[in-house]
Amino acid sequence: MDASTPASKAQTWALFCIYKKDFRDQHLTYEQASEMIKNAPAKHAVAKENPGATKPKTFKDYMLSDEVVDRLTKKIMSEMGISSVVMNDTSLVKDDGKRYVFLGMGCGFSYIKFDKRSKRAADIVKQSEALKPVVEARIVKKLGSEFIGRLRACGNPIQAHFCQNLNYKSAYNYIVTGYMESVGITKVSVMNWDD
């Protein structure tokens, strides 16, 4: 590998797990990421030296962990900070003065692309869909009833964001693929389309 090879998704995910910081926009090279992982804090170094020392989390434990729920909660909160006002199109209807608050980056479609021959990958993707309502119920609890009520009152219920917001759905899928890569599943990626 040459010195300019970028860090892999697996490396940036490992760095996030170790340092609790997103390194994806840091433009790290493969060598830099390897060095950072190698020089990880002591509690992670033990696991690397003796892989049997800590049992890896099951996918369910991982998805329901505070770390993942907090990460998704932060994503939804950042989307709520993006707002615009949608007005009636006066060329089509008489302007009745109605204004609709629109929150988030908008709708889109996101899915996980994986090798269909991999039963393990298919099982994790299936589990990820089944766990979504449970994860989202934990996010709602973290956001609190007052915030959820305000979203509902302005015509943007949180459930609409869970179903339609491309950035949130993409973040959820990247978390799933990060886990998949960490357990050795290759040929996996997140595919996104916006409207």
101 forms beta bridges with 85
The structural domains of the chain, with segments of one domain joined by +, span 1-55, 57-194
Contacts of 114 (CB under 8 A, 6+ apart): 121, 122, 125, 180, 185, 187, 188, 189
In this prediction, residues 71-98 reach a mean pLDDT of 62
Q: How confident is the model at residue 86 (pLDDT cuts 50, 70, 90)?
A: very low
Question: Of the candidates 109, 118, 110, 113, which has an alpha carbon nearest to the alpha carbon of residue 177?
Answer: 113
The pLDDT of residue 8: 83
Contacts of 86 (CB under 8 A, 6+ apart): 99, 100, 101, 102
How far is residue 7's CA from residue 21's CA, in Å, rounded to a whole number? 15
How far is residue 36's CA from residue 29's CA, in Å, rounded to a whole number? 11
The pLDDT of residue 13: 80
Which helix (H) or strand (E) segment holds residue 112: the answer is strand 108-114
pLDDT above 90: residue 114: yes
Q: How confident is the model at residue 136 (pLDDT cuts 50, 70, 90)?
A: very high
How far is residue 127's CA from residue 183's CA, in Å, rounded to a whole number? 15
Choice between 6 and 131, residue whose per-residue pLDDT is larger: 131
Q: What percent of the chain has pLDDT over 70?
A: 74
The pLDDT of residue 30: 81
